[in-house]
């Protein structure tokens, strides 16, 4: 029993030190698609698992509001968005088996972006698995350590600038060849 208590205390210290020492990734660094549900179920919405607490639940900087990354289009989910939100299991990568445990921090089997929104580097799947998820504003609890999901409209796919120039040059070349043949 004493060994069990010692192990629990050590785990608690490690978990709290991980969160305390984690550094938020600057808002100028774009969140990679690998940790985002891009165009989730073809709904036109991208979803991100932002972190293990509600927006600024433990004070400023613990989990920023979506406006922190407004240049990427992130926002609070509306009621309509929320009605088609992903389940926590949708963030599992591939066919990995992920159990809803406290303080999950493996980016190889689970998509989350806590480090981009907060000074946390984990998510608490045990909260998410029982539906304790908030949009960080007006859906769910903002003071009961619920997980936070943010949303954005899926970016429209555009032809990158170098491709546009190449297509334009190819078209112009085709026009010149056609005129010469006439």
How do strand 147-153 and strand 45-51 relate by DSSP bridges? antiparallel
Q: Which pLDDT value is given to residue 75?
A: 97
E-strand ranges in 33-110 read 36-37, 45-51
Which token pair is 35? 């940790």
Q: Which pLDDT value is given to residue 180?
A: 73
DSSP 149: E
Cα dihedral 85, 120, 61, 138 in deg (nearest 10): 20
Q: Which pLDDT value is given to residue 7?
A: 40
Which token pair is 91? 């963030």
Q: Which pLDDT value is given to residue 156?
A: 60
Q: Which pLDDT value is given to residue 22?
A: 66
- The pair phi, psi for residue 107, each rounded to 5°, is -80, -5
Q: Which pLDDT value is given to residue 2?
A: 46
Nearest to 76 by CA among 148, 128, 156, 154: 148
What digits encode the pLDDT tens for the residues 105-140? 878 888 999 999 998 888 888 898 999 999 999 999
Q: Is the pTM of this model over 0.85?
A: no
Q: Which pLDDT value is given to residue 64?
A: 93
Residue ranges in the chain modelled with pLDDT below 50: 2-20, 157-159
Q: Which pLDDT value is given to residue 99?
A: 80
């Amino acid at each position: 029993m004493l060994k069990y208590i010692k192990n629990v205390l050590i785990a608690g210290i490690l978990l709290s030190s991980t969160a305390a020492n984690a550094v938020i990734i600057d808002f100028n660094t774009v969140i990679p698609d690998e940790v985002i549900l891009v165009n989730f179920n073809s709904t036109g919405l991208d979803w991100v698992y932002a972190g293990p607490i509600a927006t600024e639940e433990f004070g400023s900087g613990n989990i920023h509001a979506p406006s922190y990354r407004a240049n990427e289009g992130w926002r609070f989910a509306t009621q309509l968005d929320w009605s088609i939100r992903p389940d926590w299991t949708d963030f599992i990568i591939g066919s990995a088996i992920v159990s809803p445990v406290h303080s999950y921090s493996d980016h190889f089997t689970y998509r989350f972006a806590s480090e981009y929104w907060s000074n946390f580097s984990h998510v608490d799947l045990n909260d998410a698995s029982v539906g304790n998820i908030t949009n960080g504003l007006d859906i769910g609890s903002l003071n009961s350590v619920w997980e936070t999901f943010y949303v954005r409209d899926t970016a429209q796919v555009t032809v990158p600038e170098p491709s546009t120039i190449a297509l334009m040059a190819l078209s112009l070349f085709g026009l010149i060849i056609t005129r010469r043949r006439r």
